[in-house]
Structure 1
């Protein structure tokens, strides 16, 4: 299969003009790689550049502009690398498309310069960050020379430019997959597909589903595709795509000859070359959803030939991620859990499903076309109060006001924490699992989680 690993000679590159739209982590990483590889490049951001990113652009002598886009100049580019945050309906993106200028994502750009290195890429609506972090932890523990890149860790392009590795473990979003052309992971993992980011996909679920399956589109017979056979959406649509790689399903509902399954509290992993078992009671990550994540990570590690004793040890020693079901503190018998990374309804569903104490639930933020009815049964069963934390909470109020005894509106993390604490009793849990994006009140989900934790520790 053709792969543009080398983009022209150094002399040819010097005559090519690369524009990077967006000066966040992925944009700056893409620019550093472009500069290192000999291209003339411009970083253009409609907003204000953050000081650390600005310093890096100066350090690498990269041209930049902020507060506007120089459209006339940008439209002379040979290649445009687009930040995943910029939607397709953006007027400048439309003009770039109309001119026939090549437009790619940062992961596609990085891919073109990795030589013979290989990628394990993980996507999905829920669980991808945990699965990526666990896969990386297993690989490192087993002695693999690898880097953690993508939505978690450094941008892929930055890593390739400054510290290339034989292996990359990458978390990739649907937005990044939308603009790939040849990106080809040796191991692709699709954790699940649930309704998310529908605002970016014209509120058509099928568009989002197609985006997720793009992770497989360039794979060949020597590659592997790990997916969840228990996920209804994945299984309803899997036959619509031409899959040339080796399929490796995971399941809790049936035994599999190839793949991973859990039966009688034992995880069973079977690939062509290896079989091994491990008790789920030895998993560092608890909860049913994390059993799926652990199966996917363990299977990915097994299929690239890592030793099973090292896989077992790493699964036992893994530490949970910040902002993902992170226990912050227990204050006067009330447990506070930070699940700020739950930016969609299904993530919140998994969080609630794992709760075994009465819950005061903190919800809210930027709604992405959420269907809160999915939470209704769990809310009725487990939630004694809802604290809304957002600029516009009407949709949450309408969804739950007839089913929860108490609902309050708040406009900051500190206010939400204080309200939740007042509504709680000893033995309760205050769960921040917003089901929404964070951009109305916070910079990002990390900022939201950090402010939540600070407010809890100040009680």
Structure 2
């Protein structure tokens, strides 16, 4: 990686020593910042300590040295740190520029192309499916971003011609020049409103930042059936080429599904394919598949490779992941469903009577949005959380069985299994974050799978 003369006399401070923070620190070292300082208020994992030591990067953990931090010329903060954080407030007051990791990586990505995917739901699945299409096409590609791999570290150490990046609203909050060649906006439903002053319009604006720097030769792939997106597009100053996808109408340029047949027509090489050939099942995955197909088409991937990827793509861990069938009862791990819209999509795809596991840290959920599907498909609800009062308020008397409370996974799975009969499904799709009882949604999903194996 070439050194950048513009930063040879600058100090960058990085708040947070997780995947994005350590990746940014490595990139800063590679491009030649005069000084780099990484600060984390908690414990830094051994994996990241070793990386920082290997690259001779100064860091601290278990607290912040304000004098060192406020001496920065530039600040990169990890996406999980909110604006209300006392240090961020001081940094802003000192007029220190704050950027995100994707903004930092974008500066040094060279001629590489970026496909950026955002939305309230389906980001990980769509990002992974696009990556699979690129892989099958033999492209020099990396899977990066919110999916768990630092784009900055990739750019620094093993640069690629293409980056397929899952991007959260938090990562978009601090961009300045970041511009994906292809931007995908899958859907927008209320989520993370605690980070946006509890104003949905602020969250919508954050999502649309993925397209704000695009130019006339870029592509904007979006869900034509999402009323929030289509309403905002009426006034959004879009400069890139719009490519919508829809199940409600035929699209002249983009993608649509009609009579169970998907058509991708964003280029001259049309792709036509039955939805029954899709490896990923469910209406939500039909949307994800259309979006991925458009992105791959405009990047020049041949239709044979697109079709192959759609037919063979395996479902992701913790996202409608089949676990096992025990005495005729199917167990499905959808632990990644941390908001209501994800649960709605999960229930839409269920074909058998369902015991639904809900609960965790509520993010302001209005459970009435699930009521029709719960009445139609759910025979019992097992709560898994420390405070299940809102779930009881919404669904007591709405399902055939009494709602059961649990506070550990073994008990939860055993009680769900006791309520099930052969031909039923037990679905872990919590609608809440996991941090009351678990380290992460991955930990919650893994414990679910381990508990099922004990039955």
- CA shift at 1:56, angstroms? 1.5
User: 1:395-431: CA deviations, max 9, x gaps?
Assistant: 1111111312321111122221111111111111110
Aligned to 1:46: 41
Q: 1: distance between equivalents of 2:31 and 2:439?
A: 32
- CA shift at 1:117, angstroms? 0.6
Aligned to 2:60: 65
Asked whether the equivalents of residues 19 and 148 of structure 2 are also in contact (C-alpha less than 8 Å), the reply is: no
- CA shift at 1:82, angstroms? 0.7
SS of equivalent to 1:420? helix
Aligned to 2:435: 439
Q: Which moved more, 1:98-107 or 1:407-416?
A: 407-416
Aligned to 2:143: 148
Aligned to 2:301: 306
Number of matched pairs: 453
- CA shift at 1:248, angstroms? 0.2
User: 1:271-304: CA deviations, max 9, x gaps?
Assistant: 2433221111111111111111000000100011
SS of equivalent to 1:323? coil
Q: 1: distance between equivalents of 2:365 and 2:150?
A: 29
Q: What's the Cα RMSD here?
A: 1.3
When normalised by structure 1's length, the TM-score is 0.97
Aligned to 2:86: 91
Q: 2: distance between equivalents of 1:6 and 1:88?
A: 33
Aligned to 1:183: 178
Paired residues for 1:157-196 under 5 Å: 157-196=152-191
Say if 2:27 is the partner of 1:37: no
Aligned to 2:327: 332
Q: Which moved more, 1:202-211 or 1:412-421?
A: 412-421
Paired residues for 1:14-413 under 5 Å: 14-39=8-33, 40-404=35-399, 405-413=401-409
Structure 1 unaligned regions, length at least 5: none
Q: 2: distance between equivalents of 1:7 and 1:16?
A: 13
Q: Which moved more, 1:402-411 or 1:283-292?
A: 402-411
When normalised by structure 2's length, the TM-score is 0.97
Q: 1: distance between equivalents of 2:87 and 2:269?
A: 50
Q: 2: distance between equivalents of 1:410 and 1:431?
A: 15
User: 1:43-91: CA deviations, max 9, x gaps?
Assistant: 1111111121112111211111111111121011011111111111111
Q: 1: distance between equivalents of 2:121 and 2:112?
A: 27
Q: 2: distance between equivalents of 1:62 and 1:452?
A: 39
Q: 2: distance between equivalents of 1:38 and 1:452?
A: 46
Q: 1: distance between equivalents of 2:415 and 2:127?
A: 35
- CA shift at 1:13, angstroms? 2.5
Q: 2: distance between equivalents of 1:86 and 1:248?
A: 33
- CA shift at 1:235, angstroms? 1.0
